Structure 1
Amino acid sequence: MIWLIAAFFVTALLYASVGFGGGSTYNALLALSGLDFRILPLIALSCNIVVVAGSTIRFARAGITPWKGALTLTAIAAPAAFFGGLTPIGESTFLTLLGLSLVLTAATMLLPIGKAEGEPHRWSRYMPVVAAPLGYLAGLVGIGGGIFLAPILHLCRWDGARAIAATTSLFILINSLFGLAGQIIKGGEGRFLAAVDIGLPLIVAVAIGGQLGSLLALKFIPQRWIRWGTALLTAWVGSRLLFAM
């Protein structure tokens, strides 16, 4: 359990440093530890909520969140996340989707993020269409979906980098809340209590790691180094999960 707590701490620190929650990696670490796959999303989504809640509040207080666009995307994705959490899924399908999500996550972390220059791309108007499937995947597998949303928003020049980070943070937070609600209803009281029993020390670890990541890491380490390190960690965990099946 000690290695798992340490791994969750490092994951939260890295992901929070680049504005994400880390749900996919939490899930994979839990899967590699041999836990019942049915309780993994409960723990991972709870950790997601803890990590991104602080950054969401900070963005809002700073007046960075573009509320109209962010709430539109989130309002479309949240019900889909709830239904994703309710959807029954087999272990092999769950682990395959999780492993593929991790590999894709690593790829998105390596995409360059430039400044938003010029008018938004015409594809930006179709972003609400993308929100629903990302929300469903978030609830089904126990991730926030923001790791996929952010690079799409950047490629479409949807808004400035800070506004996209604020939108992604809100997106992850609300999707994780709705996905967790669906997972709790699907699993029942027994599975929820099992997740609480295992997850409490992990939630404490990500709370500390997430705060350190968002407040300290970016002051001392270039963000591109953190992104590359996070991508390598994610790719390694995802590859291990896929090859272990």
Structure 2
Amino acid sequence: MSQILFLIFLPIVAFLYSSVGHGGASAYLALMAFLQFVPEHMKPIALLLNMLVSLIAFLLFYRKIKMPWKLFLTLCVSSIPAAYWGGSLPIEPHWYKWMLGVILLIPTWRLLQNHQQAERPVRLFNPYATLGIGAAIGFISGLIGIGGGILLSPVLIFLRWAHLKETACISALFIFVNSVSGLMGQQKSLKTLYNLYQAEWFVWMMM
């Protein structure tokens, strides 16, 4: 029954998150936690769905803007290895739920913010600060099982390193590469994914 409910809500969540350049991993994790999915299955499922949805979102936004490749690549230089490292580390269920709860508060906080700042002129990014931000977000993303867009977007807007559409495009591709890296860091998750592919409900979900 829980798998059926997940399949019902999945397209809605994916559509809403992809429209702002996100993959939706935090929402998938929250939904799976509510439906009492097996914890070992949650992170690989969320990351795999994240990869698919964020890649589609990136392709949609990329056609409409000029991608700030220098900013994106600087972020990824540190975020990709950090996401792999975070994904390889075990985390106690208690701390995992606590960290996930904090992450889920971020969308609520963003809704309460004044978005006028996002329309101000863009400033040149600091490469050293960018490397640090990329590493921090990448590590947290790999540890929790998200792509990091939910963390990166408000940072880019607050620092005025990108406009809204540029932020959405950067975040979408950032989510994709970090989801891949975080998943590769989870050897047990890769085996779990293989087992999940044998499950009929998971095949239907991907369709």
TM-score over 0.5 for the pair = yes
Tell whether the 8 Å contact from 2:156 to 2:162 is kept in structure 1 after alignment.
Answer: yes
Gaps of 5+ in 2: none
**Equivalent residue letter for 1:55:** A
Q: Match of 1:86?
A: 88
| Distance in 1, Cα, partners of 2:31 & 2:108 | 15
Q: CA deviation at 1:106?
A: 2.5
Cα deviations by residue, 1:201-223 (Å, 9 ceiling, x for unpaired): 3333xxxxxxxxxxxxxxxxxxx
Q: CA deviation at 1:14?
A: 1.1
**Equivalent residue letter for 2:193:** F
Cα deviations by residue, 1:26-71 (Å, 9 ceiling, x for unpaired): 0111122222212211000111111111222234444521111111
Cα deviations by residue, 1:114-147 (Å, 9 ceiling, x for unpaired): 3442462887862321111111111111111111
Q: CA deviation at 1:73?
A: 0.5
How many pairs were matched up?
202
Task: Point out 4+ residue stretches in structure 1 off by more than 4 angstroms.
Answer: 121-125
Q: CA deviation at 1:105?
A: 3.1
| Distance in 2, Cα, partners of 1:182 & 1:153 | 26
**Equivalent residue letter for 1:140:** L
Gaps of 5+ in 1: 205-245
1:176 aligns to 2:176 (yes or no): no
| Distance in 2, Cα, partners of 1:119 & 1:174 | 25
1:202 aligns to 2:205 (yes or no): yes
1:117 aligns to 2:120 (yes or no): yes
Residues 33-72 of structure 1: matches in 2 within 5 Å?
33-62=35-64, 64-72=66-74
Tell whether the 8 Å contact from 1:42 to 1:195 is kept in structure 2 after alignment.
Answer: no
1:193 aligns to 2:171 (yes or no): no
| Distance in 2, Cα, partners of 1:139 & 1:195 | 20
**Equivalent residue letter for 2:204:** P
Residues 5-154 of structure 1: matches in 2 within 5 Å?
5-62=7-64, 64-114=66-116, 115-118=118-121, 120=123, 126-154=129-157
CA-atom RMSD in angstroms:
2.2
Q: CA deviation at 1:79?
A: 0.8
Q: CA deviation at 1:82?
A: 0.8
Q: Report the TM-score, using the length of structure 2 for normalisation.
A: 0.87
Identity of aligned pairs, percent? 32
| Distance in 2, Cα, partners of 1:158 & 1:122 | 6
| Distance in 1, Cα, partners of 2:62 & 2:177 | 14
**Equivalent residue letter for 1:164:** T
Higher relative contact order (CA 8 A, sep 6+): 1
SS in 2 for 1:20: coil
Pair 64,74 (structure 1): closer, same or farther in 2 beyond 3 Å = same
| Distance in 1, Cα, partners of 2:33 & 2:68 | 36
Q: Report the TM-score, using the length of structure 1 for normalisation.
A: 0.74
